[in-house]
């Protein structure tokens, strides 16, 4: 299995992790601002994290970030 690929949209502060290739069939918001996308076989294919810098800062501390958080 390939490692997940990460994409960060700095302008919109969205982090997207591609778990595996596939077409999105549906998604579930597992908690506010975190969405898991699934294919038609109900297998996860991606994760979107909105306000990513704030979410990550809250979980690991601001000093661990290279992106400034306001």
Per residue, the 3-state secondary structure of the chain, as one string, reads CCCCEEEEECCCCEEEEECCCCCCCEEEEEECCEEEEECCCCCEEEEEEECHHHHHHHHHCHHHCCCCCC
The yes-or-no verdict on residue 34 having pLDDT over 50 is yes
The mean pLDDT value for 19-30 works out to 95
> What is the C-alpha end-to-end distance of the chain, expressed in Å?
37
Confidence of residue 70 (pLDDT cuts 50, 70, 90): very low
CA distance 58 to 70: 13
Kindly state the average pLDDT of the residues 42-61.
88
Global pTM reads 0.76
Tens digit of pLDDT for each residue in 14-23?
999 999 999 9
- Residue 4 predicted with pLDDT over 80: no
């Amino acid at each position: 299995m390939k490692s997940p690929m990460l994409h960060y949209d700095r302008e919109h502060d969205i982090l997207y992790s591609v778990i595996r290739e596939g077409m999105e069939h549906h998604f579930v918001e597992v908690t506010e601002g975190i969405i898991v996308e699934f294919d038609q076989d109900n297998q996860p294919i991606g994760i979107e994290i909105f306000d990513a810098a704030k979410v990550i800062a809250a979980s690991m501390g601001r000093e661990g970030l290279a992106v400034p958080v306001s």
